[in-house]
Amino acid sequence: MSPITVYGIPNCDQVRGARAWLRARHIDHRFHDLRSDGLDAGRLADWLAQTSWEVLLNRRGQAWRKLDPARRALAVDADGATGLLLADPTLVKRPVLEHPGGLTVGFSEATYEDLFGARP
């Protein structure tokens, strides 16, 4: 199993960009589809030990915009955000990259170059 896992949904532009960047550089990784494979509480707890719930909760995406205002109001602390993220993993900011150096949320070529080197 690859020590690098990309978490996201396949039709997300940022996830597609991250996966294409890794493939172009022949960096072995696996993909975990948050929509079909879900997100378990243990994995989310691991992520929250490495970054904040504010970083993980995507408040700019379609899933957030479709969320009932009463449910959105729960996102005021880690407990509320955890409940939302477990109930609907598409609320996770994407991609989440687990790698030997830790956890990276979101995709930017510059960040990936720092992590893995720039050579294609």
Annotated catalytic residues are 12
For residue 95, is the peptide bond before it cis, meaning its omega torsion is within 30 degrees of 0?
yes
Q: Token match 């550089």: residue?
A: 25
- Cα distance between residue 84 and residue 75, in whole Å: 8
CA Rg value for the chain: 14
Give burial (CB, 10 Å; 0-12/13-18/19+) of 100: exposed
